[in-house]
Amino acid sequence: MAERTDDEMLAKLIERSRLLIALDDEIPVETKLQTQPLLKQLEQLLAEVAGERDLGRIESTHALLRRELAEFPNIDALLGAMENFLPR
């Protein structure tokens, strides 16, 4: 089995986060409506060519997601795992 790149891992973690947010009944609808666009924004920021990525916006978008979803352990774990693959 081929090893996945950081970008591939991030794409999988974002997709799983999106799905978990949508399906988790514990997460209020308002929070879902606020965080789904943030995941899309993060995905778009990461889609930029590696040398042209806005690392500050990537970091701040991820941090905002962590703050908004900190009280939900499953999604917080996925967001925490993303930190290992985010560009620096």
Tens digit of each residue's pLDDT (9 = 90 or more) over 11-21: 999 999 999 99
Domain boundaries, the chain: 29-88
Whole-number pLDDT of residue 18: 96
Q: Which residues of the chain have pLDDT under 50?
A: none
Whole-number pLDDT of residue 47: 94
The whole-angstrom separation of Cα 73 and Cα 54 is 28
**DSSP at 48:** S
Whole-number pLDDT of residue 1: 66
